[in-house]
Amino acid sequence: MLLERATGLAARITQYHKLKGAADEAAQFETRANQLGVISERIARTRAALCKLTDAGVAISFAPSDGVGYAAKAKALRTAIQDNPAAINDPPFDLKNEFIDRLAAIAGGAEKAMNEAWRAYVAKRADFGSNDVLSALAEVSQFRPSVTKIRQCRSNISALGNSLPSDPQTTVARLDALIADHDAAWVELSAEDIPSSIVSFIRAAANEGAPLATYTDEVRAWFESRNLLNAFRIRLR
């Protein structure tokens, strides 16, 4: 009886070790699968984001370091797993340090490049020059409604550059619309009791710059009487 019990116990212990070994192996498989799944999804998202920005007309200066080499590693790993699934726990190279971590670094570099490219794109589109002219115009009650609208457009445009959009094409269209509203507000800038030569000079100065020839005695006198001369600068080209 005692021998039978001992034999049964030994069988159960053997079975336990087999099950434990299988569980340990399964856990290793799950760990590897999770590691590869996470980085695969990140790379896919990054690639999709790069394509969306490019399609929206945003230039990105980014090239993955040794992309061909990592593609070869991915192919070698896939072939090894196809031949023997257990190879995932004994890959032909250091899976974490030589592959997963390097891919994560590439994704991180691409994400940084995209954010920088987007901010630069918005900043270039929104290069309206100094706010000195606006600040000066805000002192003239007749211009305040237009100044408020222009400032709001600039604020909304600036906000678009704060974060990378999930839909660049839609956001670029929104940017186009805001810039059009901004330009229209300058075109609409007027006041019944202010000479047209003054209004024309202000519009030009706030955009591409007013020619020095348009800085007439009338324009100078009007600005001087309102202490606004310091809001304008002579620029040599």
Domain count, the chain: 2
Q: Is residue 196 part of a domain?
A: yes
Q: Is residue 39 part of a domain?
A: yes
Q: pTM higher than 0.75, yes or no? A: no
Domain residues for the domain of 26 are 2-125
Q: What is the pLDDT of residues 158-190, one digit of tens each?
A: 999 999 999 999 999 999 999 999 888 887 776
Contact, 139 vs 171, CB < 8 A?
A: no
Euclidean distance between CA atoms 207 and 201, whole angstroms = 10
Of 132, 175, 133, the closest CA to residue 154 belongs to: 175
Q: Is residue 236 part of a domain?
A: no
Q: Is residue 25 part of a domain?
A: yes
Q: What is the pLDDT of residues 64-123, one digit of tens each?
A: 777 778 778 878 877 877 777 777 777 777 878 888 888 888 899 999 999 999 999 999
Range in 4-8, 142-146, 164-168, 233-237 with the lowest mean pLDDT: 4-8
Q: Is residue 237 part of a domain?
A: no
Say whether both 118 and 141 belong to one domain.
no
